[in-house]
Amino acid sequence: MNESLQVAALTARSLGVVGCPLCGLLNRTAGLGRPVCSRCATPLAARKPDSLSRTWAYLLAAVILYVPANLYPVIRTQTIAGSEADTILQGVVLLWRNRSWLLAGLVFFASIMVPLTKLLALTLLLISVRRRSSWRLLERARLFRLLEWIGRWSMLDIFVVAILVALVQLRSLATIEAGPGALAFGTVVVLTMLAAQSFDPRLLWDGAGRNG
């Protein structure tokens, strides 16, 4: 029984084995000063270097830009009747009033809820690692995988704006262009993607002392 528990507790890190992030080859790094992959010479590390500091930097920048992304207009329209500038939330309200409920809900989810959820979830993960918490480790690991999955929907609003601009300009119906809010929102999306990519979920288990 004890022998089976010891075998179950073994990890690649405890055995001195590291997978190459580029080609996937397993390399033994024991006794090597600056280990590199024996096949492609890629530098190796048991954990992502400076994972927490880089994730915090991307996350804080995204939080700062999230405010102007929602306060500044995302799209500006110039017609014979005049000009309009709408934020993301104003666009959702306009779609809702025009009875485009499904599209309004989709834009609200992809443009407001998804970025906000990612910011809050990443903050939770970072704080839990900092506090070396063992609370719901498996659920937090699954939360990180969920963040990676929903990240692809974050750019939906930018795609809608780009398609709308192209269609309107093609038909010469009006002059339409993306506003500063679109740039801020796109930057928030990229920063949250970089933050999720920089975060190493294995630190959750390391902090709680559950990796071997």
> What pLDDT shows up at residue 158?
63
Per-residue pLDDT of the chain (212 residues; tens, 9 = 90+): 444 444 455 778 778 899 898 998 999 987 777 899 999 999 998 889 999 999 999 999 999 999 999 999 987 777 677 777 888 888 788 778 888 788 788 778 888 888 898 999 999 999 999 999 988 989 999 999 998 887 766 666 566 666 555 655 555 556 767 789 888 988 998 899 899 999 999 899 887 776 65
200 and 109 co-located in one domain: yes
Q: Please give the Cα distance from 155 to 78 (Å, whole number).
A: 24
Task: Please indicate, yes or no, whether residues 28 and 127 belong to a single structural domain of this protein.
Answer: no
- Are 106 and 164 part of one and the same domain? yes
Residue 3 counted as domain residue = yes
Distance CA 191, CA 162 (A): 20
Tokens read off for 69: 């992304």
Domain boundary among 27, 46, 65: 46
The verdict on 94 and 173 lying in the same domain is yes
State whether the Cα torsion 128-115-199-19 is positive or negative: positive
Identify whether 170 is part of a domain.
Answer: yes
**29 and 75 co-located in one domain:** no
Q: Which residues pair with 26 in a beta bridge?
A: 19
Under a CB-based contact definition with an 8 Å cutoff, are residues 39 and 25 in contact? yes
Same domain, 26 and 71: no
The whole model's pTM is what? 0.82
In this structure, are residues 88 and 112 in contact, taking their beta carbons and an 8 Å threshold? yes
- The upper half-sphere exposure of residue 38, i.e. CA atoms within 13 Å in the direction of its Cβ, equals 9
DSSP β-bridge partners for residue 133: none
Evaluate whether residue 54 is within a structural domain. Answer: yes
Residue 212 domain-assigned (yes or no): no
Q: Are residues 34 and 106 in the same domain?
A: no
Same domain (yes/no): 81, 153: yes
Extract the tokens encoding 113.
Answer: 């809820």
Backbone angles phi, psi at 38, to 5 degrees: -70, -15
In which domain, by residue range, is 134 found?
Answer: 48-207
Residue 87: which residues within 8 A CB-CB, separation 6 or more?
70, 71, 72, 73, 74, 181
Same domain, 77 and 145: yes
My answer on whether 42 and 52 are in the same domain is no
d(CA 212, CA 206): 9
| Contacts made by residues 149-155, CB under 8 angstroms, sequence distance 24+ | 150/114, 150/117, 150/118, 151/114, 151/118, 151/192, 151/193, 151/196, 153/109, 153/110, 153/114, 154/110, 154/114, 154/115, 154/118, 154/189, 154/192, 154/193, 155/186, 155/189
Strands 75-79 and 175-178: antiparallel
Question: Do 85 and 142 share a domain, yes or no?
Answer: yes
What's the pLDDT score for residue 171? 52
Q: What CATH number is attached to the domain comprising 127? A: 1.20.140
Phi-psi region of 86 (alpha: psi -120 to 50; beta: other; left: phi over 0): beta
Question: Domains in the chain: how many in total?
Answer: 2
Residues 40 and 56 in one domain: no
Question: Does residue 53 lie within any of the structural domains?
Answer: yes
